[in-house]
């Protein structure tokens, strides 16, 4: 049902931990891409890995993530509506703080909900346990319907950021839905598997230029 792709940036222990957690009968294949060795971006790694599979759904993962429970609710959501193109689950770090609880608002003013808020707070747990349409969802654990992934060309090829944001925006622009769901929770150590912090600022600036140009080309509003 699901082809999983793990992009690893020289953190083999985390990648092994991630792969070990993917022991789920719904996951058909697991492909690990050594992004650093290949000199590839996250987008390039995910796009190549996804191209190797044929399952109806694709799961793109950072190496510092870990599955905590069955992905059946994700599959059920996709099955409930063929217009659902992308689903992003709730994510928490090792301290139980929310690292992904949906990105809402508008294309020009996207808002992360309850960033780093403690999930053990009852109100936070209840609020983020919903399933609702989102502007976009976190790229660290990103489910996509393969037919739409292929139709739209996968992740935008950026140096390190905005790749999943563009795909989400493009999917919604094409009439598809992007969902956040708290019915499934993943662990994401956050910022443990990527590039050094010092390198990210310049990559972010360049990625944003590419993202904005791609949005302009398709007539998509963005921030």
Tell me the pLDDT tens digit for each residue of 33-64: 999 999 999 999 999 999 999 999 999 999 99
Strands (E), the chain: 2-8, 27-34, 57-62, 65-67, 84-92, 98-100, 103-105, 110-112, 131-133, 141-145, 177-188
Confidence of residue 187 (pLDDT cuts 50, 70, 90): very high
Is 98 a member of any domain?
Answer: yes
Q: What percent of the chain has pLDDT over 90?
A: 85
In this prediction, residues 135-159 reach a mean pLDDT of: 97
Is 223 a member of any domain?
Answer: no
Is 69 a member of any domain?
Answer: yes
- Position 14 scores a pLDDT of 95
In the predicted model, is pLDDT for residue 124 greater than 70?
yes
CATH of the domain at 74: 3.90.550.10
- Position 196 scores a pLDDT of 60
Is 193 a member of any domain?
Answer: yes
Q: What percent of the chain has pLDDT over 70?
A: 96
Domain extent, residue 112, equals 2-218
Q: Work out the mean pLDDT of the chain and round it to a whole number.
A: 94
Is 183 a member of any domain?
Answer: yes
Query: Which two structure tokens, joined as six digits, stand for 94?
Result: 């090792």
In this prediction, residues 123-144 reach a mean pLDDT of: 94
Closest among 186, 179, 181 to 69, alpha carbons compared: 186
Q: How many domains does the chain have?
A: 1
Q: How many Å apart are CA 151 and CA 115, to the nearest integer?
A: 32
Is 198 a member of any domain?
Answer: yes
- Position 197 scores a pLDDT of 64
In the predicted model, is pLDDT for residue 200 greater than 80?
no
């Amino acid at each position: 049902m699901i082809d999983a792709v793990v992009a690893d940036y020289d953190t083999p222990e985390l990648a092994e931990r991630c792969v070990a957690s993917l022991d789920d009968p719904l996951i058909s294949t697991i492909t690990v891409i050594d992004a650093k060795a290949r000199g590839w971006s996250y987008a390039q790694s995910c796009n190549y890995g996804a191209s190797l599979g044929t399952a109806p759904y694709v799961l793109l993962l950072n190496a510092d993530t870990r599955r905590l429970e069955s992905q059946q609710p994700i599959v059920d959501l996709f099955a409930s509506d063929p217009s659902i193109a992308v689903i992003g689950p709730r994510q928490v770090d090792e301290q139980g703080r929310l690292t992904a609880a949906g990105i809402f608002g508008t294309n020009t003013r996207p808002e992360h909900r309850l960033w780093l808020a403690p999930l053990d707070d009852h109100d936070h747990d209840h609020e983020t346990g919903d399933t609702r349409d989102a502007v976009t969802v976190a790229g660290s654990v990103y489910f996509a319907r393969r037919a739409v992934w292929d139709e739209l060309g996968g992740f935008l090829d950026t140096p390190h950021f905005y790749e999943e944001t563009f795909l989400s925006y493009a999917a919604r622009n094409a009439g598809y839905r992007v969902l956040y769901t708290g019915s499934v929770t993943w662990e994401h150590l956050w910022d443990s598997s990527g590039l050094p912090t010092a390198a990210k600022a310049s990559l972010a600036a360049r990625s944003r230029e590419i993202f904005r140009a791609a949005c302009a080309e398709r007539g998509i509003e963005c921030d």
